[in-house]
Chain A
Amino acid sequence: ETGVTQSPTHLIKTRGQQVTLRCSSQSGHNTVSWYQQALGQGPQFIFQYYREEENGRGNFPPRFSGLQFPNYSSELNVNALELDDSALYLCASSFGGRGGYTFGSGTRLTVV
């Protein structure tokens, strides 16, 4: 049984650029949620994907977008990066958005 894998682990981007973060879900899970964790804060919900459709979204602007693929892996895309986008981005998979969650180790994004 594989866990959740996120890539890359670290990333440095320049303000205004675009970034794509990737997440593979745990075997048997069909739902992926993305969270943003600023330094010293708890994670904040960005959005969730269930069976390739967005299934709930937090208070993030449209420049945060995502995809889920038929194998339930997912991407998070952020356009027009801002300095405040610097954070740890966490991905969690689950079955149907309920029950136990398996978290990835996160991607640390730094925007300079």
Chain B
Amino acid sequence: KNEVEQSPQNLTAQEGEFITINCSYSVGISALHWLQQHPGGGIVSLFMLSSGKKKHGRLIATINIQEKHSSLHITASHPRDSAVYICAVAGTASKLTFGTGTRLQVTL
């Protein structure tokens, strides 16, 4: 079992829909990161969470430390949101452990 599991693996939505991507992890963490990766490969950091909830524009990220679970929500989705969304956790060691990502496609 992977230390970081994401669901769903693939997601297709119509423009305007509310989207939720889930992340579960099995190790103790100091922080959880939500990242966005576009087809060219570059990764953009969206959020870093250690508790509670953060919001940036149409993106909302929540984390429940007791349940070892985090969610990324996109409100009013748009085709430009199409990308791979990756959850990564920072444990006690210095590395990030990544999930395999959720491929999101938003259509008109």
Contacts and interface: CB of A to CB of B under 8 A. Distances in A.
Contacts, number: 62
B50 to A, nearest CB: 10
Nearest to B4: A42
B95 A58 contact: yes
B83 interface: no
Contacts of A44: 98
* Main DSSP-derived SS at the B contact region: strand
Interface in A71-112: 88, 90, 92, 97-106, 108
B41 A97 contact: no
A102 B40 CA distance: 16
Given A42-B100, A58-B95, A103 B48 contact: no
Contacts of A48: 94-95
A103 B98 CA distance: 14
Contacts of B41: 37, 88, 90, 105-106, 108
Contacts of B97: 45
Interface of B: 4, 30-31, 33, 35, 40-45, 48, 86, 88, 90, 93-101
Interface of A: 31, 33, 35, 37, 40-45, 48, 50, 55-56, 58, 88, 90, 92, 97-106, 108
